[in-house]
Structure formats: C-alpha cells, structure tokens
Structure 1
C-alpha cells in the first residue's frame, strides 16, 4: 500500500478512480481537512434534516447517521461543545487509566494476544467509566465492531438487524435512565440536552464506540512498531510521549477519511465539480517526503511530527487527548513489565478504512515480577 502511495504522490497526487477523487499529498489532504466551507462532512444530510429531527418528524432512522462526524457548522459546533470539556487533558481520568492498565497487565504472562487481553479492554473500560455505564467489554466490543468495521460499507448496517437493535435498545435504556436527573456523567449530559431522541442515541453510540477501535489499533500498532524497530529501550528511558506520535504517523489507526465538495474546486491541475466525493488518504500524507524527512523510517523522537492521524481543522478528533493518554500510559507500563521476545502471530483487520490487528500474539519475558 505504501509503495502505491509513494507512486501516486509523484505521478498522480489528485486522482479520480471513476467514483471518488483521491488525494495523496500532505498539503492537499490538510487543506481539505481544514476547509470545511468548501469540503463538507455532511455526508448523511444531517444538517439538512435538522429541523425535521428536532420537530419529531424523523423518528425512525439509523442513529449513527446523525453525529458530529457527519455534520457541518453551526450544528457541528453545537454537538462538539456538548462534551468537549470532558476530553480536555486536564479533565481526563488519568489515575483510572493507569489503574486499569496496571490491572490488565498484571494478568498477563509469557505469551498472550495483546489485542484481546490489553488493547481492546483498556479503552472500553475507560470510556464506560466516563459514560457511567456497565463495563461489559465483550458486548461493547461486539457493538464497536458492528459499526466501525462497516466504515465504507454503510449499506451493510441493514443486514445485521438484531445486534444493531440491541445496541439501540441499550442506548435508549441508558439515556432514559438519566433524563431529568442530576448530571453526573457524559450519558446524563446527552440525555438532558436539546437534541432529538435520534440524535441523542447517535451521540451516545458515537462516544461509546468511536475511540475503541482506533485506540485499540493505536496500541496494537505501536507494540508491533516498537518491537520491529527496537524502540522499547527508548520508551523505558525517555517515556512514550514522542514514540506514540511516531506510531500514529507511521501506522495510523485510520487510513483515510472523506469529504464532499460544496462548490467547484481546483486542486493542483484537476477541477472537481460540486457534489463530488474527495477521499483524503491520511496514511499517504503521513509519509509525504516533502514534509517528513526519511518518512519510511520509524524515528521515535521525530520532531516536529505534524501527522494527520487525528485529522485537522474543526473535525480534529474530539477524543485525541484521551487516546494519547491511554496509549502513553499503556505503552510505558507495558515496557516496565515486559520485553517482547517474538511476535508469534498476527492477523490484520479486514477493512479499507481502519488499520490495525484483529490478533497480535507476543511472547515476552518479564522485566520484573
């Protein structure tokens, strides 16, 4: 894939594949992500249906069609502001993240699947705490996969019936239990907001699942990268702060995102009509030779490192501070306890948007007991 990205950056940085325009250069990708006035995220018609949603004229639909990810200002700003302060670094549950990390690691021994045993439960347990919901890791993971693994294949949501209805039923129950009561968690904020019921369900589901797959991918990818590129000693000595950023750049949890043009635009020598889809290849932008020196090398203390793995502009990932915190603590605590001797088995996620592992089995030796 990365060889193809390199070729496209040189030969056809703005490429139409017959359906979608594809962007591969850092400059172009960042420009599109930053320019919400010309490149819209309103891919499901959320902004257009807002009045009908709020007046109750649309009550039956797929809730996950109506989230801040698929909205433009001013709606986007309203949605983001509802919970943004909870993801401010100063408000994150640092002690709880470390407590969960230490507990999960204490249960591991000489050989284990870091995805199933560590990278999956950590972000689920943390966001469950913030939402104030029960920490059923398996169920939340199943629901996360249900939605996240269908990124790019939205039509499949109709074929999964029962499980999706269980997810909606769970979200309704949690939201209903908070209505009119003192707000003590993120679910309570959503339940007592001015959003329509469908929007509330979409918002709750987004917070519950959005960071799970991506943070799991970040931790898993970083463990592989740190092992392949001999980074563990650096992490033990210097901490994981910069190394996490390099893992984000080198092996981004999300390969690409998409926008739709609101007017005719020109990018380089290509004219793109209004209403056209534009695919932003984050993974390619992160390896752009014009921005990153020696881009195909993993350099744990790379500075500066302006990768686009959390996006850019108004849609910069709301949960980025939480993901960074979880990954940093997870990897630093992992490094304190284990030396990875061998990656025994790995199995990639079969998805064109998400980049990570379904399985990553490692054999380790303990640094100390």
Structure 2
C-alpha cells in the first residue's frame, strides 16, 4: 500500500522533480487539501482549464499567489494581473493596444543581436551557462528596450525582479519584505517615467504616458504616474522571469533528448514546435492561485467560500487524458493548447514576446552550438515557490571532455590590492568619514559624519547634492551597519554593511532594487 500523498509548494526537495507526485495527485487525489498551509489544489487538465476560465467563481482580487491571498493583500487597481473585472478589464484593454504581436515581432532582429552579444564570445570555448550567459541577459535587455529603460540600469532591474521572487528554501514569501522591495522598485521607475515624459521616444513607456483609456469608473483619461509605475513594474517582472526560465528548461530538456535536439539543429523550421513542447513539458510557472467566492463541491468534496485554490498548471500539462504519454517529451506531438500561459481573461498578455524570445534564443544557440551536455552536478535550482527554473545551468558545448567532473570554472581571483594602512592607535567612529561606493556608473563619493551619545550613534550622510540623516546605526564588535535614505537623484534606501579595520571601513552598500556594490570609507 502506497503512502498518503503529500504535496507542499515550499518543499525544495520535491521541487527538484515534482512530476511523480503530480501524477499521483491526478490519479488519486484530483482535489487535494493541504492542512498545514490551508489550501486546496487541482491537477487535472479539465479542472484547471475550467477554473481559470471562471472569473466569477475564482477571484484574482487578492492576487494569484498563495501567500498574497492568505494575507488578503490589496494591490493598486493598475496592477491589473491581480484584479477582477471591471478593474482588470479597463487596464488590460489599454495594455492590449500597447503590447501587440506586431510590436513584439518588430523587435525580432534586436533580440537576435542581443543573443549574438551573449553567445558570440563563447565560440571556440567548451562551456556555456544557459542562465548566466543568456537567460539572465537577453530577456532583461529585451523587455527593458521595449519599455525604454536605459542600458546602464537594466542589470539592476533584473536583480530587483530576482530579489522579489526569491524565498528562503522551505518557507513562504515574506510579505513585509516583498512589499518593501516593491516600493523600492517603484521609486526607481518613477525617475525613468519623469525623464521619459520630457524625452519621449518610440517605446512602451512613452505610449503609456500619452495614451488615453476608459478607467474602471468609466472616465476617459490618461494614466497617472503611479499607475504607469505599477504597470512598468509588472511588465518588467513578467518579461524577465518567464523567458529566463524557459531558456534554462530548453537547455536541460534538449540535453536529455539529444536525438530530438540534433533533429531540430538540422531543421530550424522545427524550432517553434520545440519551444511549445518545452513550455508544456516544463512550465516556468508551475501553479497559480485563486480565491473561491462561494461554497462549491468538487470531486465529491466541499470547498468553502474564501478558500484558496491552487491550479497545478505543470500537472495539468502532463494529464494523459489530454496529452498522449504526457510525461514524455516529443517535439512531434499533436499540437494542442496547454496551460502554461493560462486561460480566460488572465491569459498571459506577454505570451507572444515569450514565444518570440524562446524561438530566437533556440535558433541562435543551435546555429553556434548544435551539441551540448548539461552539467547537472553543478547546476543550481532557484529558491522560489512561485516560479521553477535555474539560477545556474552550466553545460559542455560539443563533446564532453573525458573525465570531466566540474562545470564552468569560476574566474581566477584577482590579486587583492593592498588595503589602506590602518592608523596607529585606537580609532573612534565619531567624526567624518570619506565614503566611496563603486557603483555601476563609477565611483560615487559621499561624506559620513558620525556623533556618539552614550552607546548610541547618530549622524548624516552627504552626496549627490543632498544631506540626509542616517538611521539604524549598529556596531557589533568590528561590524558596522547603517541606513541612508537617499533622495537624489532618486529616492532609495541604501543599506551599508561593513567591517572596521583601523581607520578603514569596507563592505557592501545595498541600493534597493539596484543591487549591492562595494564601498570603502576612510577617516578624514
């Protein structure tokens, strides 16, 4: 007798290969209840399809993520993917006029150039990381190009998206931390919007500034700055993550099916159906949540009003009542719609872009590297409960070297530069420190002034033409921490964490969604 079925979306071990459990759920428990986290889950294709289509019975008003619905989160109206009609209808209608298949396909050659930029330097080598070399680069730059985000800031945008979806293994999303990261991201987008308002261009941000729409109250008007910021945030996040994960799954799946990969390499006309089969076989978003709006009965069991229902998209995509031999990968499979991009009013508005990027990426990979073998021993699966994919997916290009046991080597560490000499005698923290942050656009100087009263430190930090009080200063042994709420050139929280060595402070400055950068401070 087999053990009782248990499925936990936070179980990192299960995430490595959830498909045997999904199969059991479909066969033995098509309506599953998890008492620990208090949610229901459905796994059969027909159930998932009908649920996603029923906007009245299954609501998105508190989001489509388990933790958000349990917390009764309320999103701004313009975060339309987390709304029901009429709010969802109003904003999506506007976005459908802007995110069109025609606009997406107009950038195909630009996407090819981005792929070439990432892949060409690897020609002649013997290793490739599908994420570090392509998945983390091309989608981020493509969606930023469409939005009108400057190239110098694109890496910071991707890091912001990664930070917001990442969770501690085995634990739910930290809602408070998520909201803080969200606010930091939005403050950054405000600056881009203000600049683009004065410098219009042929991009989505300009079109959002100039377009009129009929809002949920029926008033025809332009979007507010806050609404544009929210929409840009949604598009940047979704545009980065889906294709990043898709590229990883293409690399892994085609490595494990070399005969099919070689067939596609010989005939690139097979690429679109190959991308579609990878999307079915390994969907980047394995499940989506809804709130149940009234008591219902399903598979002989009652589900109460207010319950959270998880639709297991990845399980539905392998349902053998829908897909013959659903657990097998077959690029010649009969074309039938899958659930990866959803169904109903919330079907993914960016699906044309994801398919285009996936197709172009696979074509450009195969043109350069028709053979590869993924190094799974050194691959790293992402720590997140909302999407499933890889943080690193290294591979050997061409033939695997004999006795190869390691993946892409880490670059040799540069010889450390001599640290500034520590002053003789004891150094007190209070006083003036000259701070230099090595940011993405070069060194950023600032002046930190510290005062001490008893065991408490206060002070201020000046830079970029403004001075602001510091907050939360802590000294633990020789470790130092403080926060600077920068106001120019944009509002952002910068956290400094470092170590004191004589008259030198050194460490990292974490600038919200823009990432972390090294800093050094010397006593004036």
With the shorter chain as reference, the TM-score category is 0.7 to 0.9
Q: Does 1:217 align with 2:245?
A: yes
Q: Does 1:364 align with 2:407?
A: no
- Helix, strand or coil at the partner of 1:291: coil
Mapped contact 2:165–2:384 kept (Cα < 8 A) = no
Q: Does 1:105 align with 2:119?
A: yes
- For CA contacts below 8 A with separation 6 or more, give which structure has more relative contact order: 1
For residues 155 and 37 of structure 1, the distance between their equivalents in structure 2, rounded to whole angstroms, comes to 29
> With structure 1 as the length reference, what TM-score do the two structures score?
0.87
Cα deviation, 1:179-229, whole Å, max 9, x if unaligned, reads 477563211233456444443322111111212111100011011101101
For residues 150 and 202 of structure 1, the distance between their equivalents in structure 2, rounded to whole angstroms, comes to 22
Greater Rg by CA: 2
Aligned residues: 350
For residues 207 and 276 of structure 2, the distance between their equivalents in structure 1, rounded to whole angstroms, comes to 31
Mapped contact 2:144–2:154 kept (Cα < 8 A) = no
| Cα distance change of structure 1 residues 165 and 8 upon mapping to structure 2, 3 Å threshold | closer
Q: Does 1:186 align with 2:201?
A: no
| Cα distance change of structure 1 residues 159 and 207 upon mapping to structure 2, 3 Å threshold | closer
For residues 111 and 337 of structure 2, the distance between their equivalents in structure 1, rounded to whole angstroms, comes to 26
Unmatched tracts of structure 1, length 5 or more: 46-60
- Helix, strand or coil at the partner of 2:142: helix
* 1:144 equivalent in structure 2: 161
How many angstroms does 1:64 deviate by?
7.5
* 1:20 equivalent in structure 2: 39
Q: Does 1:174 align with 2:192?
A: yes
- Helix, strand or coil at the partner of 1:215: helix
- Helix, strand or coil at the partner of 1:177: helix
| Cα distance change of structure 1 residues 273 and 210 upon mapping to structure 2, 3 Å threshold | same
For residues 112 and 184 of structure 2, the distance between their equivalents in structure 1, rounded to whole angstroms, comes to 31
How many angstroms does 1:97 deviate by?
1.2
Q: Does 1:234 align with 2:252?
A: no
Mapped contact 1:257–1:281 kept (Cα < 8 A) = yes
How many angstroms does 1:165 deviate by?
4.8
For residues 76 and 256 of structure 2, the distance between their equivalents in structure 1, rounded to whole angstroms, comes to 37
| Cα distance change of structure 1 residues 302 and 198 upon mapping to structure 2, 3 Å threshold | same
Unmatched tracts of structure 2, length 5 or more: 1-17, 65-72, 213-221, 400-524
For residues 330 and 236 of structure 2, the distance between their equivalents in structure 1, rounded to whole angstroms, comes to 33
- Helix, strand or coil at the partner of 2:131: helix
For residues 65 and 279 of structure 1, the distance between their equivalents in structure 2, rounded to whole angstroms, comes to 23
Mapped contact 1:87–1:318 kept (Cα < 8 A) = yes
Q: Does 1:206 align with 2:234?
A: yes
More helix by proportion, 1 or 2? 1
> Root-mean-square deviation (CA), in Å?
2.5
Moved over 6 A (4+): 61-65
More strand by proportion, 1 or 2? 2
Q: Which moved more, 1:172-181 or 1:218-227?
A: 172-181
Mapped contact 1:64–1:206 kept (Cα < 8 A) = no
The equivalent position to 2:380 in structure 1, one of 347, 350, 353, is 347
Q: Which moved more, 1:174-183 or 1:292-301?
A: 174-183
For residues 334 and 76 of structure 2, the distance between their equivalents in structure 1, rounded to whole angstroms, comes to 37
For residues 341 and 10 of structure 1, the distance between their equivalents in structure 2, rounded to whole angstroms, comes to 36
- Helix, strand or coil at the partner of 1:299: coil
- Helix, strand or coil at the partner of 1:190: helix
The equivalent position to 2:309 in structure 1, one of 243, 263, 278, is 278
Q: Does 1:245 align with 2:272?
A: no
